[in-house]
Chains A and B, each alone.
Chain A
Amino acid sequence: MIEVFNAVLLGPMLNILMVFAKFMAGNFGLAIIAVTILVRILILPLSLKQLRATKAMQQMQPKLKELQKKYSKDRQRFAQEQMKLYKEHGVSPLGCTLPMIIQFPIWIALYQTIIQALAVTPEGLVGLSQQLYSWSAVQGVVPLNSGFLWFDLAKPDIPMAILVAASMWALQKMSTMPAMDPKQESMNRLMTLMMPLMFGYFALSFPSGLSLYWVLFNLLSIGMQYKVTGWGSLSMPFKRTQPSPATGKGEPVIPAEEEESQPAPGGSEAEKRVKRRLITDQAGTRDGKHRSKRKDRGRGRSNRPR
């Protein structure tokens, strides 16, 4: 298994990185950036498919809401209809997890490459000797210079760890679907918080060359996500959201008591609710069934029950 991994992934990645570094004046940081872009291009078809699925999910939200109302008392039927709807629109429930799973061997290979190519430990350097091809371009490059910008690619770096967490949080925010209900919203918030924190913590343990890859990969993903679906929930980073009945995109959740005192938002349902209340109030005033809440100054009357 290890031999297969070395032959298929580690060896090629390591040698490609060494070649890039050689042609970039020995700058390993630039070589990592080049490989990150290359990896992004290679998994582009998968990423585009995932982004289109995300957009389709957004557009499906109003229909999902209808189904939820229709089958509110029949969960099983709702689940069946929901799956049917997903299939019709070609949406996978795994969402963005597949590209991440596919990247995992790449992270391992990149980590091993950094440890070996930068001569972090003698064991790593000996391992390198068995992975390098006989190309003249890679011989003589060892060991590579580990300095890049303000940090050492072989050592963890706190600012880079923060960038990893921040970029991952932003990407999660943009790509997470608005929740159908408060429970799902809580789960979404948990995931949106946990993954970036976890990766940020890992980044404090691993060489910052790996963090450089993660940050750049996230930034490229953010760019792609914006192109297809816009800022998503990132435009309201700290508000709870729900899918808009009209567009399916996230809109802030406004508590009922606030809704009455605010001008009606753009959504048509909220406007109708406000209009209904106004009509009801006006009707009550005309036929005398409802009392106004204005104070009656002279008479000392109140609305308290007698």
Chain B
Amino acid sequence: MRKRIFNARFALLAIVLLGSVALVACTGSRGWPSPTISDDTLYVGSTTGNLLAIDTANRNVVLWTWSPKSKQSGGGFFSCASGGALTAGNVYGAPTVHNGLIYVGAFDGNVYAIEPTSDNRDAVTAWKYKAGSQIVGGVAVSDDGTIFAGTSDGTLVALDANANGLEKWKFPREGAIGKIWTTPTVVDGVVYFGSLDHNLYALDAVTGDLKWSKPFETGGAIVAQPLVVEGVVYFGSFDSKFYAVDAATGDQKWVFDKATNWYWAKAFYEDGYVYAGSLDKNVYAMNAADGTQRWAVPVGTGGPVRSSPVVAGGILVVASEDARVYFRNAADGSQRWAPIELDAKPLSDLAISGSLVYLTTEDNSVHIFDAEIGRPFSQPISLGE
């Protein structure tokens, strides 16, 4: 009898141990790195924290792989409390290329400047800036070489790319706002970014001072990168609304409220229309001037649309978390080509070069599609283990 009691308790102990391990199929951060294309070279991060350069003009040969030296594991025994210790350098935003250097912000709290060697067969870390808190969005670079990155402790930092990442200013100067998970957008000397505190901010890119009399407030957190076109800022919010705001004054121009879930990804602008994917599984097309809906019904998919859609030659390309890529006519939302089924869920925003569309998936691959024919352009490129 005693043995049964002891065995029962020991079984409980085993269950707790195993369950804890399972419980932690544990949400450390994995990253969802988006690709960037510059001069026939595809720059893309992997879910293991590496950055790869791929020659798209030469049969997708991998030119070099860079990895941050710091790859410490996350908080605790199971890396469960990923908010605890800084985790491995997973990347959520797209790399930014400027003057031959590639800049990434990583979840380990660093902004890295990566310099390819002269033969472009290797890359080294030129410098890194320790922001001290996770960076979830990408970084933006202005024409004068100022790098902007938002952090999870609610600050936007401006770094001098020409001075090895020397900090120019920080916003706010004291204290912090809500977490900044958006990729900032820099246009005409103004940097725009959203925060989880529900506000959209516009700052002078040189001084870090507020441009508007007050931040533009929405009803929900903002993680979508602002899209700035012809003096108007377009972005979606967690209040399920899509906004158009005057870039100079911060006044609302119009609001679109047909979605039933959050906006996460950056919108896409083409020929007077704005296309935005929502986590309610739909993609909406709005007239950029007044916010009226272009299509009779939105483009529906089987899963949340977290990736930014693109339009290539009049064809709207959408990647959905139902592991499919959709090709629709941008004019009326009707199907152009049959959806392509993927082996894994899409991770990143879509990147476009001509008619070619690039997408990273959960199985650590880059897929390339030709939107003109609605087919894969080549075999998926593996980003390694």
Residues of A within 8 A of B (CB): 79, 82-83, 93-95, 97, 100-101, 104, 107-108, 111-112, 115, 118-126, 129-130, 134, 139-140, 142-143, 146, 152, 154-156, 180, 183-184, 187, 191, 194-195, 198, 201-202, 204-207
Contact = CB atoms under 8 A, between A and B. Distances in A.
B220 A142 contact: yes
Nearest to A105: B19
B29 A152 contact: no
Interface of B: 1-2, 4-6, 8-9, 12-13, 15-17, 19-20, 23-24, 27-30, 32, 75-84, 92, 136, 178-179, 181, 196, 198, 219-221, 223, 238-240, 260-262, 264, 279, 304, 306
A156 B223 CA distance: 26
If over half of A's interface residues share one DSSP class (helix, strand or loop), that class is named, otherwise mixed; here it is helix
A279 to B, nearest CB: 37
B81 A154 contact: yes
Nearest to B8: A94
Contacts of B1: 79, 82-83, 93
3 smallest A-B Cβ distances: which pairs?
A: A205-B76, A154-B83, A205-B77
A187 B6 contact: yes
15 contacts: A108-B23, A111-B23, A119-B179, A121-B27, A121-B83, A123-B30, A126-B279, A129-B279, A129-B304, A139-B240, A142-B196, A183-B2, A204-B77, A205-B77, A205-B81
B83 A155 contact: yes
If over half of B's interface residues share one DSSP class (helix, strand or loop), that class is named, otherwise mixed; here it is loop
Given A123-B27, A129-B261, A205-B81, A140 B219 contact: yes
A107 B23 contact: yes
A75 to B, nearest CB: 10
B348 to A, nearest CB: 12
Given A122-B32, A206-B76, 14 more contacts: A82-B1, A97-B9, A101-B15, A122-B136, A123-B30, A126-B279, A129-B238, A129-B262, A140-B238, A143-B179, A156-B76, A156-B81, A156-B84, A195-B13
A198 to B, nearest CB: 7
A130 B305 CA distance: 12
A206 B2 contact: no
Nearest to A205: B76
A140 B136 contact: no
A25 B8 CA distance: 44
Contacts of A101: 12, 15
Most chain-B CB neighbours within 10 Å: which of A121, A180, A202?
A121
Given A82-B1, A130-B304, A201 B77 contact: yes
Contacts of A112: 27
Most chain-B CB neighbours within 10 Å: which of A82, A93, A134, A206?
A206
A183 B223 CA distance: 60
B81 A155 contact: yes
A204 B75 CA distance: 8
Most chain-A CB neighbours within 10 Å: which of B5, B92, B239?
B5
Contacts of B262: 129
A121 B76 contact: no
A125 B81 CA distance: 15
Given A201-B77, A205-B76, A119 B23 contact: no
A299 to B, nearest CB: 56
Contact of B239 (A95, A130, A140): A140
A163 to B, nearest CB: 16
A107 B12 CA distance: 15
Contacts of A134: 260
B129 to A, nearest CB: 21
Given A121-B29, A122-B29, A93 B8 contact: yes
A231 to B, nearest CB: 22
A91 B262 CA distance: 52
Contact of B13 (A94, A154, A194): A194
Contacts of A202: 20, 77
Contacts of A201: 77
Nearest to B279: A129
B107 to A, nearest CB: 8
A225 B330 CA distance: 67
B97 to A, nearest CB: 23
Contacts of A152: 83
Contact of B29 (A111, A123, A140, A180): A123
A33 to B, nearest CB: 20
Contact of A180 (B2, B20, B23, B77): B2
B264 A126 contact: yes
A119 B196 contact: yes
Contact of A97 (B8, B75, B223): B8
A205 B80 CA distance: 6
Contacts of A82: 1
Contacts of B219: 139-140
